[in-house]
Amino acid sequence: MNVKSIRRAVLLSVALALVSLAAPAQTDTTWRNAQSAAAAAAKLLTQTEETKVVAPKPDYWNKSLMTNLNFVQSSFTNWAKGGYNNYALSAYIDGNAKWKKGEKYWNNRLQLDYGFLYSADKPIIQKNKDRILFESTWGYKATKTLNYSAKFTFLSQFANGYNYPTPAVEEDKEPSSKDWRNARVLKSSILSPGTVNLGLGIDWVPSKWLTVNMAPITGGFTIVGNEKLRKNYGMERRKKYKDEEDKKDDKNNYINGYIYRPARFEFGAQLTADAKVKVNDNFEGSTHLLLFSNYLKNPKNIRVNWDTRMMWKLSRFFSLNITTNLIYDDTVLVTDKDGNTAYEHKLADEEMFREELSKYYLAQADAGVIERFNFVPTAPTPWYLQLLPYFLMLVLFVFLMYFLMTRAAGGGGARGFRSHVFCLGADGYRSV
């Protein structure tokens, strides 16, 4: 029996009950009321019920959030083995917002990672993590696994980064926090560097947990806002200072901002690979690989940014977290703790080297300074050999994910793997 039949039966019963109660009373008023009630019940029985169905409003968004907050404290009191009191605090946020309607989609991802530490032997707060990554991809479905896409990428950091050489103080005197601050050497800052890229290409999505973006047409800028850091990050010299001495201030310090440009335009190809899996409630992992080749200068030197995270819950109170960050950029000068340049790429262009220095070899040979010379440039390493170690690491990571998925499925293949939405719960990360 459906709801409509039950409703009619109840109304009819009520009407009959009113009639039966009113009949013994033998009063006109009661009898008329009973007749009215029965007529109303009969009218309701004859009416056709109209059920209004309201379609649910479609939701085209799929959102997820993964957070991690770590605090570490070590305290030593009369400890014979030695040690220093220290504190460390770090936070990690990985938010995703995906929109899809028909053949069109819009994927957004924001990664924020920041941490600092304090140690009694160096009484100053030091940064140990700092990263801002924002990606936005607009796409249109072309085939089952390929999509036309336009990808925007922004990469920078929150605060200044320093090297901390030991301050020079009087003998038998411990450096104070002020001494450490005065001795520190600036290494990086917000938007120093900062990278902004916009690429046109295709997305290859073979599965829900893997996305590969290939953008052969990518343009962008590398920004170094801090004047003191422009030389270290490979900014080009201004034309009017090409053949002049570096301009100095009253303290004989170089004013790099007057010499080097604040931004560098780049045009090349970009490849981005994202893998994010959650095998079960105890294990999840993610990796983000970004490769960029600049067509305008040394395209064979591939810029690499590769981050990998693995979180393995061993028990209720213990977990294993592994984080790796790999960065390679041939335009950046590496400095030691005192801020001195450790090495530079002096032979960036073989033809330029021959053009500028061969005349000195020939002049010295003619003057008898050099009796014999045979300049044979070193053969450059092919780009595919430079990329081979990173490719092998990616293959190893994918194999590990596949192995864990097959184990989670009971040895029956990867059919036990499902896509998950990560949500923040009271006791950690949960999947919906």
Query: In this predicted model, what pLDDT tens digit does every residue of 68-90 receive, in sequence order?
Result: 888 888 888 888 877 888 889 99
CATH number of the domain bearing residue 151 = 2.40.160
Helix (H) / strand (E) element for 13: namely helix 3-22
Mean pLDDT of the chain: 76
Residue type, 321: N
**430 in a domain, yes or no?**
no
User: Beta-carbon neighbour count of residue 286 at 10 Å?
Assistant: 21
Q: What's the number of domains the chain is made of?
A: 2
Last residue of a domain, one of 312, 330, 345: 345
- Token digits of residue 316: 């209720």
Same domain, 133 and 276: yes
Q: Closest by alpha carbon to 334, among 163, 191, 102, 89?
A: 163
134's enclosing H/E stretch is strand 122-141
Q: What is the pLDDT of residues 213-223, one digit of tens each?
A: 999 999 999 99
Identify residue 259 by its one-letter amino acid code. I
Q: Which amino acid is at 68?
A: N
Q: Of the candidates 281, 315, 345, which is a domain's last residue?
A: 345
Structure tokens at 200: 């046109």
Residues 391-423 pLDDT 10s: 776 776 676 666 666 665 554 443 333 333 333
Q: What are phi and psi of 318, to 5 degrees?
A: -130, 140
Reported as a pLDDT band with limits 50, 70 and 90, residue 341 is: low
The domain containing residue 281 runs over which residues?
A: 65-225+262-345
Same domain flag for 187 and 308: yes
Q: Which helix (H) or strand (E) holds 276?
A: strand 263-280
pLDDT digits (tens, 9 = 90+) for 128-147: 889 999 999 999 999 989 99
Q: In whole angstroms, give the CA distance from residue 12 to residue 259.
A: 96
Least confident of 338-342, 354-358, 398-402: 338-342
Average pLDDT over residues 40-54: 58
- H or E stretch at 30: helix 28-46
What confidence tens digit (pLDDT) does each residue in 93-126 have?
Answer: 989 999 999 899 999 999 999 999 998 888 888 9
Percent of the chain at pLDDT exceeding 70 = 64
- Three state DSSP letters for 135-192: EEEEEEECCCCEEEEEEEEEEECCCCEEECCCCCCCCCCCCCHHHHHHHCEEEEECCE
Lowest model confidence (mean pLDDT) among 11-15, 48-52, 169-173: 48-52
Predicted local distance difference test score (pLDDT) of residue 137: 93
Residue 243 lies in a domain: no
Residue 336 has pLDDT above 70, yes or no: no
Please give the model's pTM, rounded to 2 decimal places. 0.64
Kindly tell me if the per-residue pLDDT of 345 is higher than 50: no
Of the two residues 55 and 29, the one the predictor is more confident about is 55
Residue 413: predicted pLDDT: 40
User: pLDDT, tens digit, for every residue of 281-332?
Assistant: 888 888 999 999 999 888 888 999 898 888 888 887 777 888 888 888 888 8
pLDDT at residue 406 in the model: 67
Residue 337 belongs to a domain: yes
Contact 408, 401 (CB under 8 A): no
Percentages helix, strand, coil for the chain (3-state, rounded to 5) are: 25, 40, 35
Q: How many alpha carbons fall within 13 Å on the CB side of residue 12? A: 8
Sequence-distant (6+) residues with CB within 8 A of 215 are 149, 151, 199, 200, 201, 269, 270, 271, 272
The answer on 199 and 331 residing in a single domain is yes
| Same structural domain, 121 and 168 | yes
